[in-house]
């Protein structure tokens, strides 16, 4: 077993245990759900170590600690907000945009984010055959217009090196593919996942590698994460970041500016800032469009243009991510 697999086993699964180690009295958190039933808590110890001791409002803690409000029904918040079920021409292959398709490589993640838009995704139906992706590969081979394959999930870096190697070798053999993109939060959840073997697998592929890390706050990017990112850059891989705008966690221009600055230090280019997908159970994280636009105006006034992410939302049926125009400064 690799170090990262050991770390995964040792992740916190009990909210009360995590709070105890952070010296936080659960009685101080009236919104806590101490025994989440459908979507379990999972927090790697290394991620928890970046939280502030004694602070129930820590921005990393707020992303992972289960809330009672997740059980409330809120109008407009549904199990499949992006209508992904209807865009799977083959099980496990989501094809919505021209030239690129998304492969559900696994249902597993190293960390469970409470805002996750795939928290109710029917992974069992999407993954068929020994490794789970044979149907998706058949679909890919049948469509020469697809030149970029995006590994998603779940988290593609929760696959073992052996499985990932098998998958990438099969992708290498699909002639029309040029780019291999991974959308992953694993480098933040478990930076030890970036093993020498993983780097070798990427370096050996004939495809150009793009890694989109999902960081929501500068505090997530400690020196260990920075080191893992530096190694990925040397493959070479293009490193991008996407952030979900989350109420109470990163809903200010100051916090997002810090994140962009920190990403730059880590060699990562800010890419998208997402308005939350309206998944059931996450309504308490949502921000009004007007609030998001105001944050963007302030952010744009603080940073060089290349550190300002694009504010977008996912609209089912649209040909790409839909930009939210936030207009010039008054
Ligand atoms: C977000 C997404 C993509 C990637 O879109 P880009 O704008 O290229 O980053 C591709 N396919 C699906 C299904 C997506 O949801
Ligand atoms: S890592 Fe991504 S897919 Fe996994 S729980 Fe978090 S948001 Fe969802």
Residue 78: strand pairing partners: 279
* Whether residue 267 has pLDDT greater than 70: yes
Pocket, ligand 2, Cβ cutoff 6 A: 109, 111-113, 116, 118, 153-155, 185
The Å distance, Cα 289 to ligand 2 centre, comes to 23
User: pLDDT tens-digit profile of 33-42?
Assistant: 999 988 999 9
Q: What pLDDT was estimated at residue 189?
A: 97
Q: What pLDDT was estimated at residue 236?
A: 96
Cβ of 150 less than 6 Å from ligand 1: yes
Cβ of 179 less than 6 Å from ligand 1: no
User: pLDDT tens-digit profile of 284-325?
Assistant: 999 999 999 999 999 999 999 999 999 999 999 899 999 999
Q: What pLDDT was estimated at residue 122?
A: 82
Which ligand minimizes its atom distance to the CA of 317? 1
Cβ of 320 less than 6 Å from ligand 1: yes
Q: Which pLDDT band holds residue 44 (cuts at 50, 70, 90)?
A: very high
CA distance 287 to 291: 6
CA distance 67 to 155: 23
Q: What pLDDT was estimated at residue 164?
A: 97
Tokens 């407009």 sit on residue: 76
Selected residue with higher pLDDT from 83 and 243: 243
As a whole number, mean pLDDT of residues 45-54 equals 98
| H/E stretch holding 323 | strand 322-323
Three-state helix/strand/coil letters over 213-253: ECCCCHHHCCHHHHHHHHHHHCCCEEEEEEEECCCCCCCCH
Q: What pLDDT was estimated at residue 123?
A: 81
Number of C-beta neighbours around residue 238 at 10 A: 18
**Short-list 183, 185, 184, 193, CA closest to 228:** 193
* Whether residue 157 has pLDDT greater than 60: yes
Tokens 């839909």 sit on residue: 322
Q: What pLDDT was estimated at residue 93?
A: 94
Tokens, residue 114:
């409470």
The Å distance, Cα 102 to ligand 1 centre, comes to 7
Q: What pLDDT was estimated at residue 75?
A: 95
Cβ of 308 less than 6 Å from ligand 1: no
**Short-list 308, 287, 291, CA closest to 299:** 308
As a whole number, mean pLDDT of residues 222-232 equals 98
Query: Which ligand 1 atom is at minimum distance from the Cα of 96?
Result: 13
Tokens 């243009």 sit on residue: 305
User: pLDDT tens-digit profile of 113-146?
Assistant: 999 988 888 887 877 667 789 999 999 999 999 9
Tokens, residue 326:
């936030």
**Residue to mutate, 115, 116, 117, 215, ligand 2, most ligand atoms under 8 Å from C-beta:** 116
Cβ of 100 less than 6 Å from ligand 1: yes
The Å distance, Cα 210 to ligand 1 centre, comes to 13
Selected residue with higher pLDDT from 75 and 120: 75
Give the residue ranges of DSSP H helices in the chain: 3-9, 15-21, 45-48, 61-64, 123-126, 134-141, 161-172, 186-189, 196-204, 223-233, 253-265, 289-300
Give me the chain's average pLDDT, please. 95
* Whether residue 173 has pLDDT greater than 80: yes
As a whole number, mean pLDDT of residues 221-234 equals 98
CA distance 151 to 34: 33
CA distance 311 to 232: 26
Q: Are strands 100-104 and 93-97 parallel, antiparallel or unpaired?
A: antiparallel
* Whether residue 214 has pLDDT greater than 70: yes
Name the percent of the chain lying above pLDDT 70: 99
Backbone φ and ψ of 196, nearest 5°: -55, -40
CA distance 143 to 82: 23
Cβ of 151 less than 6 Å from ligand 1: no
Tokens 């060089």 sit on residue: 304
Tell me the HSE value of 330 on the side-chain side, using a 13 A CA sphere.
2
């Amino acid at each position: 077993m690799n170090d990262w697999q050991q770390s995964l086993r040792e992740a916190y699964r009990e909210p009360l245990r995590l709070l105890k180690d952070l010296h936080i009295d659960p009685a101080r958190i009236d919104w806590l759900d101490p025994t989440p039933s459908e979507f379990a808590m999972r927090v790697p110890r290394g991620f928890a170590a970046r939280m502030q001791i004694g602070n129930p409002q820590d921005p990393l803690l707020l992303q992972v600690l289960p809330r009672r409000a997740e059980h409330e029904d809120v109008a407009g918040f549904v199990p499949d907000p992006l209508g992904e079920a209807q865009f799977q021409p083959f099980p496990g292959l989501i094809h919505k945009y021209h030239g690129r398709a998304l492969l559900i490589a696994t249902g597993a993640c190293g960390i469970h984010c409470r805002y996750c838009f795939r928290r109710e995704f029917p992974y069992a139906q999407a993954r068929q055959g020994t490794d789970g992706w044979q149907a998706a590969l058949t679909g890919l081979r049948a469509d020469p217009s697809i030149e970029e394959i995006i590994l998603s999930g779940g988290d593609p870096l929760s696959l073992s090196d052996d499985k990932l190697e098998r998958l990438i070798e099969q992708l290498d053999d699909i002639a029309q593919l040029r780019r291999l993109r991974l959308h992953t939060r694993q480098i933040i959840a478990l930076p030890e996942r970036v093993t020498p073997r993983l780097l070798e697998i990427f370096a050996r592929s004939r495809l150009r590698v793009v890694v989109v890390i999902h960081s929501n706050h500068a505090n997530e990017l400690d020196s260990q994460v920075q080191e893992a990112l530096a190694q990925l850059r040397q493959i070479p891989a293009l490193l991008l970041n996407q952030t979900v705008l989350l109420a109470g966690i990163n809903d200010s221009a100051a916090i997002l500016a810090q994140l962009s600055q920190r990403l730059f230090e880590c060699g990562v280019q800010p890419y998208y800032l997402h308005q939350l997908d309206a998944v059931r159970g996450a309504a308490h994280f949502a921000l009004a469009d007007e609030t998001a636009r105001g944050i963007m105006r302030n952010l744009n006034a603080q940073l060089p243009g290349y550190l300002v992410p694009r504010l977008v939302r996912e609209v089912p049926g649209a040909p790409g991510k839909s930009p939210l125009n936030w207009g010039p400064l008054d």
